[in-house]
Amino acid sequence: MIGWFKRLFKRRKVSIFEKRIGYEFRNQSYLEQALTHPSYLSGNNGYKNSSYERFEFLGDALLGFIVSDYLFKKYPQFNEGELTERRRILVSGKALSQIALKLRLQDYILFSHKDSYELVEDHQAILADAYEALIGAIYLDGGIESVIRFLERFHFVEEINLLESRDFVNFKGKLLEFLQSQGFSPPKYKLERVLGPDHRKYYLISAWSEGKFLGLGGGFSRKEAEQQAAERALKILLKEEK
């Protein structure tokens, strides 16, 4: 009786998710594997499925191809560099995690009890991985046309929001372009300090060109700190130019 109730509860939860994504799986094991975090396997020895890692590998390749095809057809006037920049944004981990949050993917991922979603620090990476795994699962279950319809409904409609978001501006690239246009050397980034505990390090990084300090940035990763340093440097340089 208890086993029957658990199966019924699980099926109702799956049905809600399928309605949310607009796709009903013929093979439910594909969906279950796409939503299984690696930690769940270690805590459930009798569990027969694998984690989402193999589906993530497949979904990553599919996403890259379909997004490239979409951009190539939509923007015949764009050159390779412009297409590459748009694709970078649309397939970035931050973009995938934002879309996954809108789908409430975190409510359906299977974790071990000691490694639940609330306790895992890097939520963005987990959501991005699970989103790619979901794409892989849809492909295996319904083919590439099903994946395209899913992306049209949830991914491509976010294109303008993603492109206009400050989160996706490549400030390092823009700073490099500006310096080169003025005849200066490419920027160099120097780690100034690392603050905070090992599990939550905060990096302070400065941007330089030809021995001149341009700006200081901070973030919980070197990449984030470099981006902020480049943004601040660019703001100062553009102000000086006026």
Residue 18 annotated among the catalytic residues of the structure = no
- Assign 193 to helix, strand or coil: strand
Structure confidence at residue 3 (pLDDT): 45
- Assign 11 to helix, strand or coil: helix
* Listed residue (130, 52, 146, 49) closest to 97, CA to CA: 130
Residue 132 annotated among the catalytic residues of the structure = yes
Question: Which helix or strand (DSSP H or E) is residue 207 part of?
Answer: strand 202-209
Beta strands (DSSP E) in the chain are: 188-195, 202-209, 212-219
* Listed residue (242, 194, 183, 192) closest to 215, CA to CA: 192
Q: What is the pTM of this model?
A: 0.70
Of the ranges 40-54, 123-137, 140-154, 198-212, which is most confident?
140-154
DSSP state of 198: G
- Among the options 32, 56, 129, 132, which is catalytic? 132
Indicate whether 47 pLDDT > 90: no
Distance CA 123, CA 117 (A): 7
pLDDT in tens, 71-103: 999 999 999 988 998 998 999 888 999 999 999
Indicate whether 171 pLDDT > 60: yes
Distance CA 175, CA 196 (A): 28
Please provide the average confidence, as pLDDT, over all residues in the chain.
86
Indicate whether 5 pLDDT > 90: no
- Of 72-81, 85-94, 111-120, 185-194, minimum mean pLDDT range: 111-120
- Among the options 32, 56, 60, 226, which is catalytic? 60
* Listed residue (139, 5, 158) closest to 60, CA to CA: 139
Distance CA 117, CA 106 (A): 7
Band of the pLDDT at 8, cuts 50, 70, 90? very low
Indicate whether 113 pLDDT > 70: no
